[in-house]
Structure 1
């Protein structure tokens, strides 16, 4: 079971952690964000569960949930929050990055690096990346990353500041 701590009160995992009552209680989780269509919310006393029924498909409309999920995470003052999908790699990682952009002041590059440092195997699908880029443009009026084809698939790459991207450093993120 792998659970990753993103902030002092925000965790990211696969479904296994959400289904483990002891793990939830140990981390004082009072809000679970379930970003799956395939798993039901657990019923634990004192724990609210927000279902985000989006499949892990590039065309799935995850963007329409970014604001509501970020606001709910931000407003959870009674304990910690766990955001999960099946494996904790794509849907849940995307929702956490959207939260970091909206409420922690991170641009997409910073949010990606923040989550990647805590959970090195995240891999949002290409459609979720497009939606995160759109969300970043809405929030900040610019993008800090562009998508680049690599031997590992399409991955984000920093936009150099000289290219008008803003916060990028020019280094590739797939190192």
Structure 2
């Protein structure tokens, strides 16, 4: 069996050379994070498309979505709300281990939530930290390069930072605060923080992207 960390490295190199699938950021699209690991929003979960991609397992991380039986595809549901106070940490090892089991058995997994922005990317990031040989910073950059809309909420990022420290003995992402608009964000999202420093744009951006709900 190919070493996972080597496979991840190879896949990242292919992407940087423009040999991988096109980048996507729409919740109606399925993004290929690794050759066997996919990320999407709920609208992309179409049985014919899943069979076309060879998906064997679907992990639904949005508790408000109804159960969706799929022929010959195992569905796992995580009871998690997309709010900063939700306890992401209680599920991280369970889902990471599940994904690794799928890989070890030559399966292909799709992880999704409602939009593929906060909950499902959080689990994909945790997997890359625990089993993919990546730091949280590297994992975020890798996933964000493929799917630009990913943005785990403030509480989820704090859980991921703690998870990385436990798994790797150090933290590579820090939370930073912009006093001008009163928002705390992970430093990997610092470009957005710079935009928010212009108070003329702060209100419109917060309204359009839901920053209060995502980062507060």
Common fold: TM-score over 0.5: yes
Structure 1 residues 89 and 53: CA distance shift in structure 2, 3 A: same
8 Å Cα contact 1:30-1:78 kept in structure 2: no
Q: What is aligned with 2:94?
A: 68
Gaps of 5+ in 2: 1-27, 195-216
More helix by share: 2
Distance 1:122 1:153 in 2: 18
**1:26-45 alignment, distance < 5 Å:** 26-45=52-71
Q: What is aligned with 1:166?
A: none
8 Å Cα contact 1:155-1:173 kept in structure 2: no
Which of 75, 78, 83 is 1:57 aligned to?
Answer: 83
Distance 1:45 1:152 in 2: 47
Q: What is aligned with 1:99?
A: 127
Distance 2:68 2:128 in 1: 25
For these two proteins, the number of residue pairs brought into alignment is: 162
8 Å Cα contact 2:154-2:186 kept in structure 1: no
More strand by share: 1
Other structure's SS at 2:187 match: strand
Distance 2:70 2:40 in 1: 17
The C-alpha deviation readout for 1:61-103, integer Å capped at 9, x for no partner, is 1111111101111111243100000000000010100000011
Cα deviation, residue 173, structure 1: 5.9
Q: What is aligned with 1:155?
A: 185
8 Å Cα contact 2:57-2:73 kept in structure 1: yes
Distance 1:142 1:43 in 2: 40
Say if 2:154 is the partner of 1:129.
no
Gaps of 5+ in 1: 159-170
C-alpha RMSD over aligned residues: 1.9
8 Å Cα contact 1:156-1:173 kept in structure 2: no
Which of 137, 158, 162 is 1:109 aligned to?
Answer: 137
Cα deviation, residue 172, structure 1: 4.5
Cα deviation, residue 154, structure 1: 3.3
Other structure's SS at 1:82 match: strand
